Structure 1
Amino acid sequence: MADVVIFGIKDFSELAHYYLERDSAHKVVAFSVNRDYLPEDPVFRGLPIVAFENVESIYPPGNYAFFAPMSPRNMNRDRKAVYLAIKAKGYQCISYLSSKAIVFDNEIGENCFILENNTIQPFTRIGNNVVLWSGNHIGHHSVIHDHVTFTSHVVMSGHCDIGSYSFFGVNSTLRDGLRIAEGSFVAMASAVIKDTEAWGAYKGNPAIKLNIPSTKIKL
């Protein structure tokens, strides 16, 4: 159990507060944002909002943990930057794993946000700063690297290797044994049957590579 500061005051942070308070042993004590985004009334969900620039002077790393459940904007790179800034201040980051998810003895990294009805099969490892929204099937003997987002109802077959910064839209499907290169964007309802290229965007059934890089897609 840890006393936790949540980064952000938008939807993802509000949801994180809801889940942590109702479905974890952790206690949320505050929210934090960059000073430029502090509201005039620095209170959210009945808790104080503090400037990230000096959060450690109020909630020191030795006594508090952090959670940064951010959106996949900028192909997850914004979330990575915040995660690394939190780590640079010396904080441990918790992960949230829903009690309604099905897991085995999987290795799961820091700052992961894993919601209800995910099934993570045996022998699959999940890195740091990964979001698995609700209802995904995560196949066996696979690896999901850091800073990845699965939306909802994604089917990932076994023996897949998911590169960092990748994004998967609702109802997308991955054939077994695929190597999804870093920064891959897979659009909703797409079926990927071949390995992808780094920072490529894919759409369709079967999925084909689009003529724009994933970095140009607004999430």
Structure 2
Amino acid sequence: MSHKLIIAGDSAFAEIAYEYFTHDSEYEVVGFTVERDYLRKTELFGLPVVPFEDLEAHFAPAQHAFFAAATYTQLNRLRTRLYLDAKARGYTPASYISSRAFLWRNVTLGEHCFIFEDNTVQPFVGIGDNVVLWSGNHIGHHSRIGDNCFIASHAVVSGFCEIGANCFLGVNVTLVNNIRIGDDCLIGAGALVAKDVEEDSLVKTAPGSAGPSARRYFKVRD
């Protein structure tokens, strides 16, 4: 049985989400939505693109699920805002877990998550709401990923790690065992993290690298 789904966005991630939901899930994508100020097209893949502000006029909340296909803009704030707004309006948050991902039986997973292929998520891992794991990551046993995080491809999160809310981990990041990453952190591509990272930090190649705070880098105002 298919479930009707609305995807927020009309850019690359929205197109990718459409492919995965359509060909590897029980969801049927029936439309897209974009905030009115950014509405540049009325159709995508033969489906309507409608203003987010008028979503209920086109798709009844009780009959449709919703996924916000936004990446890590403003340290994930855009995706978070769209997801929570749609949920408050009565739409059911949708998640996608690739049939080619490996999640151990006792992994706990929040709502509105997107797990790409070739992710390995080991026993006793906890993943919060609104988390994106791009392809090919290793999430080690007993680790925790907070809400609203985005982990790019081929990151290694070792055992007993804790990643705070709203974080972004770039490609090929490595966290050794027992590392704690505070909220609102950007861990740049290829970084080896061998000690804890404080909230609102930007790590380039190692903890303590010079640079602006992560919130300043992403122009987060809240």
Question: What's the TM-score once normalised by structure 1's chain length?
Answer: 0.95
Matched, 1:24 2:11: no
Residue in structure 1 matched with residue 116 of structure 2 by the alignment: 115
Q: For the residues of structure 1 that align with 2:69 and 2:124, how far apart are their CA atoms?
A: 25
Q: Which residues in structure 2 correspond to 1:19-98 (within 5 Å)?
A: 19-39=20-40, 41-98=41-98
Q: Establish whether residue 145 from structure 1 lines up as the match of residue 155 from structure 2.
A: no
CA-based RMSD of the aligned residues comes to: 1.4
Are the equivalent residues in 2 in contact too, given 1:200–1:209 (CA < 8 A)? no
C-alpha deviation, 1:83, in angstroms = 1.4
Pair 1:166 & 2:167 matched: yes
Matched pairs, number: 217
Q: Is the 8 A contact 1:69 1:111 kept in 2?
A: no
Runs of 5+ in structure 1 lacking a partner? none
* Letter matched to residue 66 of structure 1: F
The one-letter amino acid of 2:183's match is: E
- Encode CA deviations 1:78-123: one digit per residue, 9 max, x unaligned: 2111111111211111101001101122211111111010000011
Tell whether the 8 Å contact from 2:197 to 2:207 is kept in structure 1 after alignment. no
**Partners of 1:6 and 1:90 in 2: CA distance:** 15
Mapped to 2, the partners of 1:118 and 1:22 lie a distance apart of 18
Equivalents in 2 of 1:137, 1:116: separation in Å? 11
TM-score normalized by structure 2?
Answer: 0.94
Kept in 2: contact 1:180–1:196 (CA 8 A) = yes
**What code does the residue aligned with 2:189 have?**
M
Tell me by how many angstroms 1:163 deviates.
Answer: 0.3
- Which AA in structure 1 matches 2:186? F
Q: Report the more deviating stretch, 74-83 or 17-26.
A: 74-83
Aligned-partner SS, 2:14: helix
- 1:140 deviation in Å? 0.7
CA contact (8 A) 1:65 1:92 kept: yes
Point out the more displaced range, 75-84 or 172-181. Answer: 75-84
Give the % identical residues.
42
The CA deviation at 1:147 is: 0.5
SS of the equivalent of 1:50 reads: strand
Asked if the contact 1:200/1:210 (under 8 Å) is kept, the reply is no
C-alpha contact (below 8 Å) 1:69/1:113 kept by paired residues: no
Unaligned runs of 5+ in 2: none
CA distance in 1, matches of 2:186, 2:120: 22
Q: 1:60: Cα distance to partner? A: 1.2
1:218 CA drift (Å): 4.9
Whole-angstrom distance in 1 between the partners of 2:116 and 2:211: 33
